Amino acid sequence: MTVELATVLPVALAIMAIVCNGMAFFSECAAFDRVARNAVRLYATVPAYGEAPAQAEENILHLLQQRFSAPNQTVAVMREDAGGYSKYTATLTFAPTLFGINLRQEVFGVQLPTVSHSASLTVDTYKPGMLL
């Protein structure tokens, strides 16, 4: 039985680590979708007077970095303008952990992959008081 336990235990721990990382990633994706789209609605739909779209992009990034500040997560925001509309794409990059302990990015010369998730929202930036 000891030999069987010694053989099965590392495999069981590896499977548990994969499942825990998967569930943590899906949980963060659900929260990221909600927070990213709300941040775009808050900062990009009606920018403040004299505020450039780059400032709205920076505000969205700052809000997302506050919410997703774990050491194994990074956030990026990109804006594309086309035909009077602005498309904001926020990306969350998630690195696997070992039950909350950060892993090295490389094991025996094999690069551990990170996973990413993107949320996009296209808005019409309306500035009150401007004539078109």
Kindly give the pairing relationship between strand 106-107 and strand 110-111: antiparallel
**Per-domain boundaries in the chain:** 1-124
**DSSP designation for 76:** E
More confident residue, 132 or 86: 86
The letter for the amino acid at 99 is F
In this predicted structure, the answer to whether residue 114 has a pLDDT above a threshold of 80 is yes
Query: What confidence tens digit (pLDDT) does each residue in 43-85 have?
Result: 888 777 777 888 889 999 999 999 998 888 999 999 998 887 8
pTM across the whole model: 0.79
In whole angstroms, what is the distance from residue 35 CA to residue 129 CA?
29
Distance between the two ends of the chain, CA-based, in angstroms?
79
